[in-house]
Structure 1
């Protein structure tokens, strides 16, 4: 299992960042390759992804530890992906968002195609970094 952690500081209060992360239907605005997303009952989300020339549909379970400002998620089927977003206030108008992704490299390659080994890790790191940058733009424009 591989683990990737990235963080970004955004220029909005923690409450605004937290609320924006919970609007799953807006994820296609800042997550590369996500065609559609919708919230379903009982903490579930449906995601339509296009990556590596392949279209896939996924279900994910989402849970919150609101007091700690941690949102955790995991896919309910293949591929087995697990992740979290942890939010920490920097000051009244700035928040640090820590993204964590756990994945099996072989499963990612089988599901989405792409490079192997170190090149794959670099590609996933670039993708997560880009998505965080897009989230920053998205949440800061919504002021």
Structure 2
């Protein structure tokens, strides 16, 4: 099993970094190895990744998702040995640390040879650098999904807490 961790600091609030990260369809804009992402359900995604003419398609299940904190996934089917998580940590009101941790089991001779080259950690490191440029250039997220997933199950939405009122006007 191969594993690695990569991190980067981005100059946006934690909710902005997190909200943008949950927009999986935008990944090809900043991660060149990601060719396409389709959100099948809130907790299920289909990915097409590759370099040059080589393409791999896999399905990933989001097993944990906590707004402004964590997105964790596991590969399904042939990619069952693929797991990862991205965490978000507020460093200051306008600064966030984004940390990607991945574990994967290389498949076949080509997969083992590719793993020895360190190509996956390099691709993630480069993608994080592009994510930084992308989100700092936008200055705000282009969408968000703020749902919660626990043990692969989407949790029901909780209603917004009642807001205080002073003389009939909302406060807060």
For residue 20 of structure 1, what is the aligned residue in structure 2? 20
The correspondence of residues 26-65 of structure 1 with structure 2, limited to 5 A, is 26-51=26-51, 53-65=53-65
Determine the C-alpha separation between the residues in 2 that align with 1:55 and 1:10.
30
For residue 84 of structure 1, what is the aligned residue in structure 2? 85
User: How far 1:67 sits from its partner (Å)?
Assistant: 5.8
Secondary structure of 2:77's counterpart equals coil
The correspondence of residues 108-127 of structure 1 with structure 2, limited to 5 A, is 110-111=110-111, 115=114, 117=116, 120-121=117-118, 123-127=119-123
* Contact 1:109–1:116 (8 Å) recurs in 2: no
User: How far 1:81 sits from its partner (Å)?
Assistant: 0.9
CA RMSD of aligned residues (A): 2.1
The verdict on how the C-alpha distance between 1:37 and 1:65 changes in structure 2, with shifts beyond 3 A counting, is: closer
Determine the C-alpha separation between the residues in 2 that align with 1:81 and 1:136.
24
User: How far 1:101 sits from its partner (Å)?
Assistant: 0.7
> 1:71 and 2:71 equivalent?
yes
User: How far 1:109 sits from its partner (Å)?
Assistant: 5.4
Alignment gaps of 5+ in structure 2: 140-172
The verdict on how the C-alpha distance between 1:68 and 1:29 changes in structure 2, with shifts beyond 3 A counting, is: closer
TM-score by length of structure 2 reads 0.72
The verdict on how the C-alpha distance between 1:108 and 1:135 changes in structure 2, with shifts beyond 3 A counting, is: farther
How many residues end up aligned between the 2 structures?
138
User: How far 1:32 sits from its partner (Å)?
Assistant: 2.1
The verdict on how the C-alpha distance between 1:116 and 1:85 changes in structure 2, with shifts beyond 3 A counting, is: closer
User: How far 1:72 sits from its partner (Å)?
Assistant: 0.2
Which has the greater radius of gyration? 2
Secondary structure of 1:129's counterpart equals helix
The correspondence of residues 86-105 of structure 1 with structure 2, limited to 5 A, is 86-104=87-105
Q: Which has the higher helix share?
A: 1
Determine the C-alpha separation between the residues in 2 that align with 1:16 and 1:29.
17
